[in-house]
Amino acid sequence: MTQLFIPKNYNRLLDLTQTEKAIKLVKDTFQENLSSELRLRRVTAPLFVLKGTGINDDLNGVERKVAFPIKDMGDNIAEVVNSLAKWKRLALADYEIEQGYGIYTDMNAVRPDEELTNIHSLYVDQWDWERVIKPEERNLDFLKYIVNKIYEALKRTEYVIYENYEQILPILPDKITFIHSEELLAEYPGLSPKERELEAVKKYGAVFVIGIGGKIGNGEPHDGRAPDYDDWSSPTINGYKGLNGDIILWNPILESAFEISSMGIRVDKTVLLRQLEITNTLDRKELLFHKRLLNNQLPESIGGGLGQSRICMYFLRKAHIGEIQSSIWPQHIIDECKKNNIVFV
C-alpha cells in the first residue's frame, strides 16, 4: 500500500531544469565536504554480490533481495546489494587503508519490498562510507565526534545552496542534539519509536538517536539492525547500550521526522559473537565476511550510509523523492502529485 502526504499550498521553489542543476550542486558539494571532514577516498563499488558470502546487508532480515543466476558461473546466484555495510569493511582491508582514513562510494540498490511513500522508493541511492579506527576509539565520545563532522558537512552544503538559490533559506540548527533511545522511551513512554523521534526532532531540529538494534527498557528494540555490522550491544559510559544511531532532521515541508543516515561503530570479534548469539544467528560464522572478521583479517571501523536523494529533497525543499530521482510509481500517485504541483523527474 502506498502512503502519500500532500503539503498544503505546496510551492516548488525550483523548476525542473533548476532542480536538475541543484541536485548536482548538492551532491558535489556534500560529498566533497564529507570526504574532507572524514578523510575519505572515493572508490568504485559493486551493484551486486554473490549470494551466500555474508557480504550483503540483511537490513531487518525479512526484506527480499533482487537476485539472478549468472550463466558463466554455473548459475550461481548474484544479489543486488541492499547496502555496502560489510563490503566496505572488506575494501578497507583490501586497499590497506590506514587508521584515521577511509573510503566512500556511490551505493545503488533496488528494494522491491519498500513501502512507497514520499521518502521511500524502489530505488535507493546513498553515499556509503567507512573509516578505519583505533581500538581505543570504540566509545561514545568518538561516535559523537564523527557525527558532528558529518553535521558540519551538511551545514556547509546548506549554505552553498542558499548562496546559489536565495529563495531556499538555511534552517538547520547550529548544533545536532544527541539523545539515546532509552532517554526517548523515558521521556515519551506512551509513544511508538517513530512518534518519539518526531517529538524529539520537532523540539531540537536535528537529532542523533543513539542505540538502535538492541532491546531497551520496554523489552523491544527502538528499531531493527542486523547483528553483524553495527555495535548495538556494547555498554556506554552512561550505562546505556549501543555505539550506533540515526541522524534525523525536522522536515518542515513534510512536517515530519526525516532520517538521512544510519551509522555506527562496527562490530569487533567479541561483539560479533555476542550479537550473533543474541539473535540466534551463530550459523553466520561460516560465511566469508564473518570468517575474515573472526580471523582478525578486517580492521576496526566506523561507517554508515547517507541518503543522496533524501539529502537533496531536504536541501531543495521537495515534497516527494520522485522530484529528485527517476523511479517507478503507481499512476494514481503520479496523478495526485501532479495535481498538487509535485512534478516528478
Alpha helices (runs of H) in 165-192, residue ranges in sequence order:
181-187
d(CA 258, CA 201): 9
C-alpha cell at 151: 553535521
pLDDT over 50 at 110, yes or no: yes
| Domain harbouring 112, CATH code | 3.30.930.10
User: CA 105 to CA 88: how far, in whole Å?
Assistant: 9
Whether residue 182 is predicted with pLDDT greater than 90 in this model: the reply is yes
Residue 283, judged by CB atoms within 10 A of its CB (0-12, 13-18, 19+), counts as exposed
CA atoms within 13 A on the CB side of 158: 18
Task: List the strands of the sheet with 48-50, edge to edge.
Answer: 48-50, 76-80, 67-70
The answer to whether residue 2 sits within a structural domain is no
Q: Model confidence over 198-238: pLDDT tens digits?
A: 999 999 999 999 999 999 999 999 999 999 999 999 998 78
Q: Among 126, 256, 301, 308, which one carries the catalytic annotation?
A: 126
Catalytic residue among 262, 308, 309, 327: 262
Question: Does the pLDDT of residue 132 top 80, yes or no?
Answer: yes
Q: Do residues 329 and 116 make contact, with C-beta atoms less than 8 angstroms apart?
A: yes
Active site residue 259: yes
Is 262 a catalytic site residue?
Answer: yes
pLDDT at 198: 97
pLDDT of residue 314 exceeding 70, the answer is yes
246 is catalytic: yes
Q: Over range 134-154, report the average pLDDT.
A: 97
Q: How does strand 206-210 pair with strand 244-251?
A: antiparallel
Residue with cell 536538475: 20
Mean pLDDT of 49-57: 83
Kindly name the residue from 79, 182, 197, 246 that is annotated as catalytic.
246
Q: Which domain holds residue 95?
A: 16-339
Over range 4-28, report the average pLDDT: 95
Of 58, 79, 182, 259, the active-site residue reads 259
More confidently predicted of 324 and 59: 324
Q: What percent of the chain lies above the pLDDT cut of 70? A: 98
Residues in contact with 196: Cβ distance below 8 Å, sequence separation at least 6, in sequence order: 181, 184, 185, 187, 188
Instruction: Report the chain's mean pLDDT, rounded to a whole number.
Output: 94
pLDDT score of 58: 66
The answer to whether residue 126 is catalytic is yes
Name the pLDDT band for 315 (thresholds 50, 70, 90): very high
Pairing verdict, β 301-307 and 256-265:
antiparallel
Write down the pLDDT at residue 139: 95
Degrees, nearest 5: CA angle 147-152-156 = 150
Tell me which of 89, 111, 196, 266 is the catalytic residue.
111
Residue 10 belongs to some domain of the structure: no
Neighbours of 284 (CB within 10 A): 17
- Give the per-residue pLDDT at 1: 44
**92 in a structural domain:** yes
Could you count the other beta carbons within 10 Å of the beta carbon of residue 136? Answer: 8
Query: 159 lies in a domain?
Result: yes
Answer whether residue 111 is part of any domain. Answer: yes
Confidence of residue 14 (pLDDT cuts 50, 70, 90): very high
Position 11 in a domain: no
Report whether 245 contacts 210 (CB < 8 A): yes
Residue 272 maps to a domain: yes
Are 222 and 181 in contact by the 8 Å Cβ rule? The answer is: yes
Task: Give the model's pLDDT for residue 61.
Answer: 59
Number of domains in the chain: 1
Residue 53 is placed in which grid cell? Answer: 558470502
Residue 5 lies in a domain: no
Q: How confident is the model at residue 317 (pLDDT cuts 50, 70, 90)?
A: very high
